[in-house]
Structure 1
Amino acid sequence: MFSTKFRIFIPSSIIVRTMATVKRFYREATVLSSGNKFEIALDHRKLKTPKGKVFEVSSEPLAFAIAVEWESQKETINRSNMHLTSLCNTVLDNPHNNTKEDIVSSIIQFLETDTILFQSNDEEELYNLQVEKWDPLIQWFCDRFQLGITKTRSIEAPLVTTETKEIIRKHLMSYNFEAIHGFKFGVDTTKSVILTLAASERVIKVEDAVYLSRLEEEYQISHWGRVEWSHELSKYDLQARLAAAIIFIHLNSNSMTSEPKLDRIRKTEM
């Protein structure tokens, strides 16, 4: 079952239609199929993007996951927590006319500011924690892609060679246009190319990737205490966003046939 339960901040790279809260106006969400495309219908009305295009995807499991998002809305529709729908809107409308190369280039730029490559130079206890938790992922990244990268303990950016950038560029370019949007959303969420790649390849769980992206904050919380409603909400917000990013990558990269089971969601031939 694909669903989210928290109101999430959406980066500017994701389209969200600006509008007042809307009451739920439909009884059920339905997946329509036509050839190799799948659409979403709210009762008998086809879902459309903010620019008025017919909302359609090539992945059947993704279509069902999006239908679950719409089914999960209660009395009002909270578009800000419908990450899969928002990602698809961005892909379909492409408001900035980005090419796959444009998006990959923007992801590559994150390498020099990757969260886990910047480690503490003034708190030895925090630094030791970062070495323990982050360094194994840095090593995995280097081994996985056969490259070298140097972390930093200063305000200066870590050393990321042109060769390293090109290796990661080629890897990302092997994915399709839709999946690349998932990577961008994941990197925006974690502020880390390394953590997003590790999560996408199932090296670490989404929850672990979020914890590692928040390691310094978690360290401070362990010393100064936690404001339950604030810190917990922030953590679950990030988990929901990253989970959506990883789902979007996988469902746009693989040919899958399994369908989420939800009685009121059905597939209808067009």
Structure 2
Amino acid sequence: MRDQLEEAHRHRDDGYGRAQHLNQVELPKRFYGQVDVARSEDGYTVTLDGRGLRTPGKKIPVVLPALSLAQAMAEEWAAQVEFINPATMPMTRLINSAVESGEEMVPAFRAEIGKFAGNDLLLYRADSPQELVAEQERVWDGALVKLARKFDVAFQPTIGIIHQPQPATTLERLDAALEGQGLLSLTAMVSITGITGSGLLAIALLHQLLDADEVWTAAHVDEDHQIRLWGEDEEASERRAKRRVEFDVAVRVVDALR
């Protein structure tokens, strides 16, 4: 399953998904004039001069279940000027990644979120300084309480980094919380999990126990503490801003498909 998951993530490097290498490759020129959204029996398709979009690697037709997602993709394609720059198309990259992964990856994506939840950011606490300890307790305990009440589970947080197994019943019920989520939703959830380092925060967001800003704040408790101590680093701030764009796109997908 791990090999399958890594293979799916590599689809982000296919064609238009190769955003991280844009400085090393020549960007393709814009080859289309009109961008529209078309309705079909199966959903919504973005069209370029009347032709439906296909994924860059496997050339699979991209059909979306929600109009809002098709409109978001269309906006990205319409915003391209002389060249097509994948770095400015996070929704397109995420959706292409999902489509090219294929439905067979649903169990692997679901398992990945569950694996994070069992070794979650929120469960491993600092023992000092007291300011950080207090902030972790304030923010993270609040999230854990909401999850515990929603799914009737118990958590066992620990101090330090030594692995602390969570109750089997807790893991089973958290997995059940992902029941019914399809490929596109789970792809977005995996993205949120990877960006935040927390499967629990992703599940809380899915079930509207926390909103996007609350999840973002919880994911950056440690980082924000360091910023308060030492100030903000420009490069780190730029990386964080880029992660927030990817995060917001994934949240938009989850919200549209909920």
TM over 0.5, shorter chain:
yes
Aligned to 2:3: none
Measured after TM superposition, the shift of residue 218 of structure 1 is 0.9
**Residues 1:87 and 2:94 aligned together:** yes
**Residues 1:12 and 2:17 aligned together:** no
**Residues 1:209 and 2:206 aligned together:** no
Measured after TM superposition, the shift of residue 110 of structure 1 is 0.5
Aligned to 1:102: 108
SS at match of 1:239: helix
Moved more, 136-145 or 29-38: 29-38
Measured after TM superposition, the shift of residue 13 of structure 1 is 6.0
Separation in 2 of the partners of 1:135 and 1:162? 20
Measured after TM superposition, the shift of residue 91 of structure 1 is 2.5
**Residues 1:68 and 2:65 aligned together:** no
SS at match of 1:12: helix
Separation in 2 of the partners of 1:86 and 1:234? 18
Once the two structures are superposed, residues 181-240 of structure 1 have per-residue CA deviations (whole angstroms, 9 ceiling, x without a partner) of: 12111111111112222233333332332222121111111111112x323323322221
Structure (1 or 2) with the greater helix fraction: 2
Once the two structures are superposed, residues 141-170 of structure 1 have per-residue CA deviations (whole angstroms, 9 ceiling, x without a partner) of: 111111001111121123312211111111
Separation in 1 of the partners of 2:88 and 2:144? 31
Matched-pair contact (CA < 8 Å) for 1:110–1:191: yes
Separation in 1 of the partners of 2:203 and 2:257? 15
Aligned pairs for 1:246-257 (under 5 A) are 246-253=251-258
1:13–1:248: structure 2 CA closer, same or farther, 3 Å change rule? Answer: farther
**How many equivalent pairs are there?**
241
SS at match of 2:159: coil
Residue identity over aligned pairs, in percent, reads 22
**Pick aligned residue for 2:174 from 158, 168, 176:** 168
What letter matches 2:29 in structure 1?
A: K
What letter matches 1:69 in structure 2?
A: E
**Pick aligned residue for 2:195 from 175, 189, 195:** 189
Matched-pair contact (CA < 8 Å) for 2:37–2:71: yes
What is the root-mean-square deviation of aligned Cα atoms in Å?
2.2
Aligned to 1:148: 154
What letter matches 1:230 in structure 2?
A: E
Matched-pair contact (CA < 8 Å) for 2:66–2:256: yes
Normalised by the length of structure 2, the TM-score is: 0.84
SS at match of 1:41: strand
Separation in 2 of the partners of 1:20 and 1:73? 15
Matched-pair contact (CA < 8 Å) for 1:100–1:173: no
SS at match of 2:158: coil
Separation in 1 of the partners of 2:82 and 2:202? 34
Residue ranges of structure 2 left out of the alignment (5+ in a row): 1-7, 19-24
Measured after TM superposition, the shift of residue 249 of structure 1 is 1.7
